[in-house]
Amino acid sequence: SEFSVTDAANPADDRTWQVPGYFEKALYGSSVGRPIQDLAAFFRIEGVLAMRYYPQGVYRPGLHWGHGDGFNPWGMSGRCGEFILPADIEPDPQEWAGYFVEAVEDRPSIWHLEELLRTGFDVLRQEGMAGVDEEQLEGDLALAWMVGMRVAEGAWLEMTGRALTTPHFFPRNHYQRDLLVHLTEAFVLNGYSLKALLEAIVLHPYFNAGQPDQCEGLDTAYYLSPVFDPWVIDHDIPELRLNTPGDAVNRIPPRVLMDSAVQAMDWPDFDREVEAIWVNPALDPGHDHDEDGNPIDEDGNLLEEPSPINEDGFPLSPTYAFELGIGIFLLDSSTGFRSNNLSESLTWEESLGGCVDPFSPGKGSSDDWLDTLIAQAPEDLPLEDLVVALKDRLLAKPTIATGDERSLMESLLGYPLSTPVGTLENPEAPLRKVCAALLSSPDFQLAGAPGQDLVGTSPSFVPEGSSSRALCLELLDTMFETDEASCDESGVIRLSN
């Protein structure tokens, strides 16, 4: 933060806009950093994590931290490891000393970082960064502020799909820097409130920017500061050195996509615990083994290995394979992704191409929202009304906007939209085709693009319990305390203050 090769005194040439403060100097004792060994000492595993050794002859012999007996903070899953308490930590076999904020000679570990972070959080909560000497930051305060910035940027990235820093974690222009500081302050100065941070994000004008024809006085689509795409400022055409609302278009986070499909279709939820990944008990080293090293159950019976295994040694259950394929973060070795690609699209199509529940035993064996829609529809109701209800449910777009869309929809259905649903022998089949197409559409998969304001527009037919007001009332119970908000008759949430 003290200097950079891409710094420049002339703002027009400056490509590194640091948040004020010599953070590296406060943490490492020098702005140029220090040997990695000094830092790695705090992240030692052996002797700090409670682990159990499994000898040769069992699956993946060696130390396994998922089966030790130690301290488990925050109700964290035992699969993530349990810690030995500070007083019981074993000496480092390599006899490494550590340095982070200060020198630590005696058994440096993650516990030292936790203590620094806790004290830094307490000071920052009480006093903030106002009046702090930027060149003489206290180490614990610097650590807490940097963690706050990381959380703030992570929330912005999750909500918008765009980072506020480049890959070396520095903003590239003052617009990004100022927004990063604003969001960090909203988080830190409100007692590390995630609610306050999310409020600051959704109320920021760039979160839901309008098209030029929706904003007075604009004659170009390039009217946003280069926050989403900071690399355009050197474009040969001056007008293109700014961002457009199109630069904010991004793929919705994959876990949100999966949950959106499951919840919209009323498919039953499934076990999301880390332990659920271990669907193949024969691969779990925590089981007993016979004299030949084969895994056995508590009665001494051999355990079979019915599931294929991925490169991490985990069995690929259908749900686990789907989560990996669409980019969900599951493990340090499977960190996920946010972008669209061919493999992700094929994974999505393979599982959801029929618009039936792919995650529960006996796929599609239980009724879902589409079954309810068909069951409650009057026999003389035109097919168009069911399609519009389905679009409203999945895309929040209760309309067939153009003649081209109408023509394409009829081709997909195989029937005119005016066809009464009661005259169809099996209305479920064509409607599931439409459902699958909508689930794979940009309207479902992408976010960030300004669209037509359809708030208050309702389809002519809505199944019982699926109206905007009914859904609004469900959200009230989930998101707000009593009297914090209410639902109006059209299903719009109104905040009390």
Residue 306 falls inside a structural domain: yes
Q: Using 50, 70 and 90 to split pLDDT, how confident is the model at 381?
A: very high
In the predicted model, is pLDDT for residue 55 greater than 90? Answer: no
Indicate if 399 and 316 belong to the same structural domain.
Answer: no
Q: What's the domain count of the chain?
A: 2
Give pLDDT, residue 67: 53
Sign of torsion, CA 447 450 454 456? positive
Average pLDDT over residues 370-389: 96
Structural domain containing residue 406:
369-468
Q: Which domain-ending residue is among 323, 353, 383?
A: 353
Average pLDDT over residues 68-97: 82
Indicate if 316 and 349 belong to the same structural domain.
Answer: yes
Indicate if 382 and 423 belong to the same structural domain.
Answer: yes
Indicate if 419 and 347 belong to the same structural domain.
Answer: no
Indicate if 267 and 339 belong to the same structural domain.
Answer: yes
Indicate if 321 and 407 belong to the same structural domain.
Answer: no
Q: Using 50, 70 and 90 to split pLDDT, how confident is the model at 166?
A: very high
Residue 196 falls inside a structural domain: no
Q: In whole angstroms, what is the distance from residue 244 CA to residue 214 CA? A: 13
SS3 434: helix
Residue 20 falls inside a structural domain: no
Indicate if 373 and 344 belong to the same structural domain.
Answer: no
Q: Which domain-ending residue is among 325, 353, 381?
A: 353
- Give the least confident one: 44-53, 165-174, 311-320, 456-465: 311-320
Average pLDDT over residues 189-208: 93
Indicate if 327 and 414 belong to the same structural domain.
Answer: no
Q: Which domain-ending residue is among 319, 353, 387?
A: 353
On whether the CB atoms of residues 164 and 179 are closer than 8 A, the answer is yes
Average pLDDT over residues 98-103: 95
Give the pLDDT confidence of 388-406 residue by residue, as tens digits: 999 999 999 999 988 999 9
Indicate if 341 and 415 belong to the same structural domain.
Answer: no
Q: In whole angstroms, what is the distance from residue 339 CA to residue 91 CA? A: 44
Residue 72 falls inside a structural domain: no
In the predicted model, is pLDDT for residue 480 greater than 90? Answer: no
Indicate if 343 and 375 belong to the same structural domain.
Answer: no
Give the pLDDT confidence of 239-287 residue by residue, as tens digits: 899 998 889 999 999 999 999 999 999 998 766 654 444 444 445 555 5
Indicate if 340 and 400 belong to the same structural domain.
Answer: no
Give pLDDT, residue 482: 82
Give the pLDDT confidence of 152-161 residue by residue, as tens digits: 999 999 999 9
DSSP letter string, 375-415: HHS-TT-BHHHHHHHHHHHHHS--S--SHHHHHHHHHHHTS
Indicate if 408 and 456 belong to the same structural domain.
Answer: yes
Q: Helical H runs in 300-379?
A: 318-326, 342-352, 369-376
More confident residue, 294 or 276: 294
Average pLDDT over residues 159-178: 94
Residue 73 falls inside a structural domain: no
Q: In whole angstroms, what is the distance from residue 316 CA to residue 18 CA? A: 44
On whether the CB atoms of residues 96 and 40 are closer than 8 A, the answer is yes
